[in-house]
Structures are given as C-alpha cells and as structure tokens.
Structure 1
C-alpha cells in the first residue's frame, strides 16, 4: 500500500512539473523521500498498533478414539470425512465375551440372593448366625457392583462419536483387534462443534488488542470476500514461554520473539462451520487506538482479498 501511495504522489508530481505548475527544484526532487518517510512514520507504523494485521488459521479439535474395552472389531459402519452426529456408531467390538461374563455374574447373583434369604431365615429362627447373613449380604452387594461394571463394559463394545464431526484417515476394518491402551488410538475424530480461528499478531502490535474488538478476515478458501467477526481472547502463552517439569537443569537457548495468537469468532457461523480445518487467510483487528489508520487497513485487506484469486501462497 505504501508503494501505491508513493507512486500516486510521483504521478501527481510529474504532472505538476510537466504542466509548469511547480518548478522542479531541489525540494521537489527530494520530496518523494520525505513523503515516503512521512507515510512510514506517520501512517504505516501507527497502523500496526491501531489496526494490526496477521495470518489466520482455521483449526479444529481432534479426538484420538481409544475404545474402553479390547476385542475384535466386527463392524465399522462409518465412512471417512462423512458428517456424524454425537452418539452415532463409529465401530463395534465383538460383545460375546462381555455378554458371557455378564450372564455368569447374574447367575452367581441369583444363587447368592437365594443363599442370603436362607441364612436370613435361619438367623431369624435362631438356627443361624448373624455373621453368615452379613457375609452373604456383602457377597450380593459385591456381585451387584461387578454386574454394573460388566454391563458398562458390554455397552462400551459399541464405540460412538463423542461430538458432531467426522472421522478422517480411516484405516480400521472389521477383523482388526483393538485394545484399550491410551497410546494406541484406532482412528482420529475431528470435532466440528466449534470452529477455532487463530490470528498471529506481532508482539509489538498486540498490546492494544482486547476481546470484543472488530475483526475482518479474508480466506484463501473464499477469495474476494471479506468476513467480519470479533476478538474472543488473546491467548496468554506461546510454546517458547512454556516450562515443563523436568529433572534437568535450565538449558538456555536462543530467545525468539514469536507472535502472539488471537482467537476470533466470525459473525457468519454457518460459513465458519463450512471452513475446512487448515484453511488460511489474512485478518485485521481494529483496536481503539489510531483509528485514523483503519480505513487504510480496510483498503489493504481488500487488496489481499482480490489477490487471493491469483496468489496461492
């Protein structure tokens, strides 16, 4: 944009000199440098504070699907990248071993309940001990708890979608054996219930960004279009500022001034939901400072939106 404005000034200056309206003196010869410095110091540097611009990225939460029980997969009814609702079946595990365990526990419970009734009757008539009644009661309660656990295991042989979304990179097939180990996920589920849009803002320009401020974004996915939104939050941490628990002493490394990430929310939620994860774009945040630069930033962003038709990067 600064190049465009400078070129406009040079054209005007050329016409004024050509029409003999002004004399091409030393002042006018060095005036392009002065105009450039004025635009840089008086407009474009303050514009970074008042209307910072940065790269935008659409991300979605990914859930590693690990079954709660182990066994052989009998059915995988889902298809990759097909929309699913929360609770839809992802795959099924052979329920027979878990059903057999549940039936055996129920049979034991029936027998122990019968014995509890007999020992209670004997204790009432004075022919039995209170200890035997208490022991049988404890066995019945233990079996009841085990039945509840076995019923839960049986229910978990049907693995369901944790939220609205879709399965991607699906390789699971019937006949495969799965386990409940947390380090052995069997599929990746992309949660589409919430669309996260992050904007990278240079630290020098992020100090005036606050929740609720207006945002405009253009995406490579939708060239030529501008979408409005609001700042949700400024994420208060980046990886370079993170300390993890370790048994090692501090290992100094090169300090990099990484950009801060601002999370924004589009006003058009229907369009936000249609954005593929990984979509990129350019966003501008309009703060309460140096408002005179907002119009220039809006023009610059629209130039970027138009260039998205031909610029793949």
Structure 2
C-alpha cells in the first residue's frame, strides 16, 4: 500500500505536473520514499506489531492416581466435555474399605477404653473420701484408747488392786488395736490414692491413643475417596490409557490419561524483541485462528514473558561452546481471550495470527487492522501450512 502511494506520487509529479527529472529531484524522491515508507513501517511495528507465530494453549494435567488398584469402571468418554468434579473413573475400593472398617473398629475399641478408664478413675476417686473417713475414725478411736489407758494407769497408782491391773492391761490392748487400726486406715488411704493415680494414668494413655487412631482413620478414608478419580476442571480427557481391569499405580510415568483443562484457554504469540518495547499488559489484541476462517477474536495482553530458552544453560560438566550461543531474538506474549465462553470452545494447538495495539502511534494501527482482516478472509482460500522452526 505504501509503495503504491509512493509510486502514485511519483507519477503525479512527473506525468501530471510534468516536472523535469533531474539528479537532485530523483535523489530527493528516493530519500523521501525511504523515509516515508521506512518511517511508517518503524512506527507501525513499534505501535501495532503483528505475528503469524501464535498458538492457543491450555493447561494439561496428567491423570495419575493417588492410590493403586484395578480399574473398576470408566465413566468419562475420550474427548467428551466434562465439568469440574465429574467422575472420570473408579478404582476397586474393596481393599481400602477393609482398611477403613478395621481402623474404625480400632477407634471404637479405643473410645470404649477411654470410657472404661474414666469409670475406673471415678471409682478410685470415690474410694479416697471413704478411706479418709475410716482414717479419721481410726485416729479418734486411737486417741480415746490412749486416754483410757492413761486413766487406767492413774487409777493403778492410787489403787494397787488386781482389778486396776486388769483395767490397765485391757486399756493397753485396746490402745494397741487402735494403733493398728490407724496404720491399716493409712495404708488403705495410700492404696486408694495410688489406685486413683493409676486410673488417671490409664485414662491419659487411653485418651492419647484416640487422636492417633482418628488420624489413621482419616488417612484410610482419604485413600478410599481417592479410588474415585474426579475431573480437576472443565475440560475433556484425551489419550485414555486404561480399560476395565487395568492395574493403576501412583507413578507419574504411568498416567491413566491426559486431561485438557479448557477453563484457562490462552494464546502464546511470538514477536521480535524490538517490537515489544511499547507493549503493556491490558493492550487490545485482535486474533485470527486457522480453524475458524472469517472469524475475528478479541483479547488482552496478559504479560510479556521476558525470557527465552536461548539464555538457559543446563548444568553439565561441559563448558558452553561460544559458537553455539545465540538467540533467535524472539519473546513470547501471553494473551487472554476477552470472552471466556468463546475461549472454552476453542481447540488446543490452533495456529493463527495476532495483532497487538499499543497506546503509541495509533494512526498506524489501521495497517494491522486491515492486515488481520485480510488474513481472516484469506483463510477460506489459502491453506495454512505450519512453518518449521528455524
């Protein structure tokens, strides 16, 4: 278009206005043409860059089971849309159900032990007041026996009769029996207190077992729930690798299939690095996708990925070869579709063209707008052939 305009100007000057061509005029027109076409192209590429290197991308999840077992049922058909949380397949839950039942029985027994230990502690604590009452009664009886013995001794000093001696002997015997009763009551109280301490320790032990078994039961229930593989998002399963009876193991090298998440469809477009100096997140984008001729898709710049694989060096024992160091001078730009409903219906890996409209040089945006619309209609007649990467 620019060349046609330039040629038209030259024809008007020499054919219509009949200006005599001289060396100075020809040189001036050449310089003016270079600046006119080159300047517009420079402003255009910096203000509304356009590229044919783009592809629609979606997150892909490898369906690796958390537990091992045989596939019992497959509920999702390959390449059929499912919603987040829909059941994809089931692993035979019988072994994990057995574990849940076993640990559940252990938990019930542990809780019963706690109830039994609480009852034993309550009984032991009840025996302590009884033992204390018996001890108090025995001490009172002992004091009475000592008093009676002292009275008998006082009487014997006054009256040396045989009856006094008998009373003294009887009082001494009663005092000895009272002392023995006190010792026995003290021993009973100590035993009751020791039994209470043992019951309290047994209760603590029983109570400490319950959380551990509850944790085991939660783990067993979690493993049982993992026998049902759910869809991690809205999308579809492709590349099913299982049939009913297939043995699955929780290894990333042996996935059951591949899940394509369509809820996060975006575009990765590649531009020369020097064309992205004015590109900012939020800039408007127009896109044409090869599988959809005649349609124009709108989007926004998410971010520019300021890195390229050319600058990445793998940790090896070999010194990087300077002759092989270099870059293709391209940066990738992530673009989000403006309409999420449209984005979810697009296929992954679709190529096409994208034009970014920055806040600079808006007068040149029309060039990219015309170009992208021409590409949209040309898709009906011109086949798209992917160019191999250089």
The alignment's TM-score, normalised by the length of structure 2, stands at 0.71
Give the whole-Å Cα distance in 2 for the aligned partners of 1:32 and 1:10: 10
Contiguous gaps of at least 5 residues in structure 1: none
Give the whole-Å Cα distance in 1 for the aligned partners of 2:32 and 2:76: 63
Aligned residue for 2:116, secondary structure, equals helix
Which residue of structure 2 aligns with residue 25 of structure 1? 21
- Higher deviation after alignment, 40-49 or 72-81: 40-49
- Relative to structure 1, the CA distance from residue 39 to residue 280 in structure 2 (aligned partners, 3 Å threshold; closer, same or farther) is farther
| Equivalent of residue 161 in structure 1, options 205, 224, 231 | 231
2:108 aligned with 1:38: no
Give the whole-Å Cα distance in 1 for the aligned partners of 2:291 and 2:221: 47
Aligned residue for 1:222, secondary structure, equals coil
Give the whole-Å Cα distance in 1 for the aligned partners of 2:39 and 2:374: 21
- Relative to structure 1, the CA distance from residue 165 to residue 32 in structure 2 (aligned partners, 3 Å threshold; closer, same or farther) is farther
Answer whether contact 2:305 2:334 (CA < 8 A) is retained: yes
The alpha-carbon deviation at position 14 of structure 1 amounts to: 5.9
Answer whether contact 2:265 2:343 (CA < 8 A) is retained: yes
Give the whole-Å Cα distance in 2 for the aligned partners of 1:157 and 1:193: 25
Which residue of structure 2 aligns with residue 47 of structure 1? 44
- Relative to structure 1, the CA distance from residue 171 to residue 142 in structure 2 (aligned partners, 3 Å threshold; closer, same or farther) is same
| Equivalent of residue 83 in structure 1, options 62, 81, 84 | 81
Matches within 5 A, 1:274-289: 274-289=345-360
2:120 aligned with 1:122: yes
- Relative to structure 1, the CA distance from residue 275 to residue 47 in structure 2 (aligned partners, 3 Å threshold; closer, same or farther) is same
User: Over alpha carbons, which structure has the higher Rg?
Assistant: 2
Give the whole-Å Cα distance in 2 for the aligned partners of 1:122 and 1:301: 86
Larger helix fraction of residues: 2
Contiguous gaps of at least 5 residues in structure 2: 125-194, 386-390
| Equivalent of residue 292 in structure 1, options 347, 363, 366 | 363
- Higher deviation after alignment, 192-201 or 73-82: 192-201
Which residue of structure 2 aligns with residue 251 of structure 1? 320
Aligned residue for 1:233, secondary structure, equals strand
Answer whether contact 2:110 2:209 (CA < 8 A) is retained: yes
Give the whole-Å Cα distance in 1 for the aligned partners of 2:285 and 2:46: 14
2:206 aligned with 1:210: no
The alpha-carbon deviation at position 36 of structure 1 amounts to: 5.0
Answer whether contact 1:52 1:284 (CA < 8 A) is retained: yes
Render the CA deviation track for 1:206-227: whole Å, top value 9, x for unaligned: 1110112222212212223333
Aligned residue for 1:58, secondary structure, equals strand
* Count of matched residue pairs: 308
The alpha-carbon deviation at position 129 of structure 1 amounts to: 3.5
Which residue of structure 2 aligns with residue 95 of structure 1? 93
- Higher deviation after alignment, 193-202 or 130-139: 130-139
Answer whether contact 1:203 1:257 (CA < 8 A) is retained: no
Render the CA deviation track for 1:60-111: whole Å, top value 9, x for unaligned: 0001111111111101111111110111011100000001111111122222
Which residue of structure 2 aligns with residue 260 of structure 1? 331
Answer whether contact 2:301 2:333 (CA < 8 A) is retained: yes
- Higher deviation after alignment, 90-99 or 42-51: 42-51
Render the CA deviation track for 1:247-297: whole Å, top value 9, x for unaligned: 757635412143112222233333222211111111111112222211222
2:373 aligned with 1:302: yes
| Equivalent of residue 290 in structure 2, options 210, 213, 220 | 220
Answer whether contact 2:241 2:255 (CA < 8 A) is retained: no
